[in-house]
Amino acid sequence: MLKIDRYSSVPIYEQVINGFERLVLVGALSPGSQLPSVRSLSQELSINPNTLQKAYAELDRRGISTAVPGKGRFISEDALNNLKSCAGDMLSELSSAVERLALCGIGLNKIISYIEAAYHTAPEKKGDTK
Amino acid sequence: MLKIDRYSSVPIYEQVINGFERLVLVGALSPGSQLPSVRSLSQELSINPNTLQKAYAELDRRGISTAVPGKGRFISEDALNNLKSCAGDMLSELSSAVERLALCGIGLNKIISYIEAAYHTAPEKKGDTK
Amino acid sequence: MLKIDRYSSVPIYEQVINGFERLVLVGALSPGSQLPSVRSLSQELSINPNTLQKAYAELDRRGISTAVPGKGRFISEDALNNLKSCAGDMLSELSSAVERLALCGIGLNKIISYIEAAYHTAPEKKGDTK
Amino acid sequence: MLKIDRYSSVPIYEQVINGFERLVLVGALSPGSQLPSVRSLSQELSINPNTLQKAYAELDRRGISTAVPGKGRFISEDALNNLKSCAGDMLSELSSAVERLALCGIGLNKIISYIEAAYHTAPEKKGDTK
DNA sequence: GTGGTCTAGACCACA
DNA sequence: GTGGTCTAGACCACA
C-alpha cells in the first residue's frame, strides 16, 4: 500500500503522511476505510511503531483520520475536504521554484509545457464523474 | 548584500548558499568577483563563522566559487553554467507539487495562470539581452 | 434509553455510566428499578458485553446499582445521595476552567452569564417540586 | 518553574503544555523568552527527553513557541493571542459541568458564588494595567 | 550545545 | 487486538 524510501532525506513519518494523503486523494481510501493497525503496518514497513504512531497522530490532527481506541483508526468524513483546503499552500510552494527557473533563463513556455505533462500524469480519481 | 532570516525554518547556511546563487543568477556577481571573507561576512550578518564556512564550502563544491589560499574566494568561471545545469532539479521539484494540485482538483488553467504571475515577478538579469 | 456515540473520544463504558447516572438524576430511574441485563443491553446498543460489564461494575462500586445474583441488577436505595455527594468534584472541576478563563482576560460577568444560560438548559427533574 | 505530578491521570506531556501555557498567561514568560533546552529540562523534571520533545512540539504547533534548530526554543510573538483565542473552548467546557450540577440540585447562586471565588484566586498578570 | 528523528520495547486503557 | 504514553538511548543536522 505504501512505499518507504529509507534513504530519502524526508523523514519516514512524513513519507507515511504523504502516502496516506495521496491514497485519499486518489480515492483508494474513502471515509470509513480502516487504516492498518500501528503494529501491523509498522511491521510490514519495518519501521518502528513509534514512528508510525507519530505519522498517524498527525493525520488525525489534520482531520484525515480518526482513532477509535480499542477499535482502530478510520478515514474521517471530511478527509477529502481537509486535504483540498491545503491546496493553497501548494500553489505558494510553486512560486519560489518558478522564480528560480526564470532566473536560470528557462523560458516560460518550457515551464508550462513541463507542467502540463506533469498535470496529466496525475491518476484519475476512482469514480470521479466530474 | 545578503539578508538572513534567523527565524526561518530554512537553515542559515542554506540561506547563505541560496543568497549567493541568486546574486550570481541575477548578475550581481560575475566570474572573478571576490566574496567577502568568512570573518567579515560572519560579523556583518552576525552569524557563526562555522556556519558561514560551511556555506562557502558548499558553494565551492558546487563549482560556484573557488577558494584561493592566501588571497580569498572568487566566483568561478563556470558559476553560471553550473547553476543552470541544476534547473532540471527544479523542474522535477515542480512535478510533485503539480501532481498533487491536480489530485486536489485544481484546474490546469488556474495553475498556469499562477505560474505566469510568479514568472513575471522574477527580476530581470542585469545585461540580459534575451 | 441510552445513546452511544461510537466515535466520541469518551470511552463507551464511561458513556454508559454517565447515561445511567443521568437517568437517575433526572428521575427516570428510581431505587428498585431494574437495569437491563448485560446480554440484552449490549445487544441493543451493539457494544461488547465486556465493555458493558465494566460499566455496570463501576455503577455498583459507586453505589448507584446493586447486583442481585440470579435476579438482576437494580438501582440502589442511596443512588441519588451517592450521586449528589459527587457534586463537590464537579465544583472543583469548574475551578481550573474558571481560573484559566480569568487569565485569558474573560470578564467575570461574561462567565456568569454563560453559566446561567447553561444552567437553564438542564432538564427539570421529574416530580421536582422546587 | 514547572511541577509534574507523576501520578496524575493527565499525561506528563500535557502537564508540561499546560504548565508553559500558564506561565505565558501569567506573564512569567514573554515573547522572546528562551525555554529550557530539551535535555536540561527533561533532566530537571526527571522525565524522558522524548516526552518533553512531544510537549514542546505541541507548543510550537499551537503557536506558543518557535524552535530555532541549533539555538533553542523561544516564546513566539503571538503566544498570548494564540492562547486567548482558545478561551472559547474553555467556556464550552464549563457547560457540561454546570448542567450536571444543576441536575444534582445545586442552586445557581451557589455555583455562581463558587465561580466568583475561583475567579479571584487567579493571579494578576505581571504589569497588567488594564 | 541546540532541536529532530528513529529504534526497541514496556505498560496501560479500551473493546 | 486496538491506540496512547513513556522510558532509554542512538544518531544526525545545525550553530
Minimal Cβ distance to B102: which of A83, A102, A122: A122
Q: State mean pLDDT over A76-100.
A: 83
What is the tens place of the pLDDT at every residue in B1-14? 788 888 777 888 98
Q: What are phi and psi of C27, to 5 degrees?
A: 95, 5
Residue the block writes with cell 468524513: A77
Chains B and A touch (3+ CB pairs under 8 A): yes
Q: Which nucleotide is nearest to D10 (CA to C1')?
A: F5
**Residue C34 DSSP one-character state:** B
Residues 6+ apart with CB under 8 A from C46: none
- Residue D42 in contact with residue D31, Cβ under 8 Å? no
- State the pLDDT at residue D124: 66
Indicate if the pLDDT at residue A65 is higher than 70: yes
pLDDT, residue C130, reads 44
pLDDT for the residue numbered C35: 94
Instruction: Answer yes or no: do C97 and D90 touch at CB < 8 A.
Output: yes
pLDDT value of residue A124: 66
Enumerate chain D positions whose Cβ falls within 8 A of a Cβ in C: 22, 25-26, 83-84, 86-87, 90-91, 93-95, 97-106, 108, 111-112, 114-116, 118-119, 121-123, 125, 130
Smallest CA–C1' distance to F12, residue: A9
Rounded Cα–Cα distance for residues A18 and A12 (Å): 10
**How many angstroms separate the CA of C7 from the C1' of E2?**
41
Q: Which residue has the higher pLDDT, A28 or D128?
A: A28
Per residue of chain C (130 residues), give pLDDT as tens.
788 888 777 888 988 998 999 899 888 999 999 999 998 999 888 888 888 999 999 999 989 999 988 889 999 999 988 888 777 777 777 887 888 888 888 888 888 988 888 888 877 655 444 4
Q: What phi, psi does B5 have (nearest 5°)?
A: -100, 105
Average pLDDT, chain D: 88
Instruction: List the end-to-end C-alpha distance of chain A, in Å, as a whole number.
Output: 26
What is the grid cell recorded at D118?
475561583
Q: Is the CB of D35 under 7 A from strand E?
A: yes
Chain D nearest-CA distance from B9, in A, is 7
Which bases of chain E come closer than 7 Å to a protein CB?
A: 1-10, 13-15
Write out residues in chain B with pLDDT < 70, as ranges.
Answer: 124-130
Residue D1 has pLDDT above 90, yes or no: no
User: C-alpha grid cell for residue D7?
Assistant: 501520578
Interface of D with B (CB under 8 A): 66, 68-69
| pTM value > 0.85 | no
A105 pLDDT more than 70: yes
**D46-103 residue pLDDT tens:** 999 999 999 999 999 999 999 988 889 999 999 999 998 877 777 777 887 888 888 8
Measure, in angstroms, how far nucleotide F11 C1' is from residue C48 CA: 45
b (16+ CB within 10 A) / e for D36-71: bebeebbeebebeeebbebbbbbbeebebbbbeeee
pLDDT of residue B130: 44
Compute the nearest-CA separation of A123 from chain C (Å).
32
Q: Are C6 and A66 in contact (CB < 8 Å)?
A: no
**C109 phi/psi in degrees, rounded to 5:** -60, -40
Residue C14 (CA) to nucleotide E14 (C1'), in angstroms, measures: 11
User: Residue A94: phi, psi to the nearest 5?
Assistant: -60, -40
The answer to whether B67 and B73 have CB atoms below 8 angstroms apart is yes
Q: Could you say which residues 27-56 of protein chain A have a Cβ atom less than 7 A away from any atom in strand E?
A: 46-51, 54
* Cβ neighbours of residue C130 closer than 8 Å, sequence gap 6 or more: D105
Find the Cα–Cα–Cα–Cα dihedral B73, B74, B75, B78, rounded to 10°. -100
What does the angle CA D70 – CA D33 – CA C105 come to, to the nearest 5 degrees? 140
- How far is A60 from A49, CA to CA, in rounded Å? 16
The per-residue pLDDT for A129 is 44
- What would the grid cell of residue D24 be? 505565558
Grid cell in block for residue A80: 477529502
From chain A, the residues in CB contact with C6 under 8 A are 68, 71
Q: Is C35 helix (H, G, I), strand (E, B) or coil?
A: coil
Residue from the list C91, C114, C123 with its beta carbon closest to the beta carbon of D91: C114
Nucleotides of F under 7 A from a protein CB: 1-10, 13-15
Q: How far is the C-alpha of D120 from the C-alpha of A35, rounded, in Å?
A: 48
Nucleotide with the nearest C1' to D8 CA:
F5
Of all nucleotides, the one whose C1′ comes closest to residue A13's CA is: E5
| Binding partners of D (≥3 Cβ pairs within 8 A) | B, C
Q: Do A119 and B130 touch (CB under 8 A)?
A: no
Taking the C-alpha atoms of residue D21 and residue D2, their distance in angstroms, rounded to an integer, is 11
At B126 the pLDDT is 52
Taking any CB pair shorter than 8 Å as contact, residues of chain B touching chain A are 22, 25-26, 83-84, 86-87, 90-91, 93-95, 97-106, 108, 111-112, 114-116, 118-119, 121-123, 125, 130
CA distance C80 to A120: 68
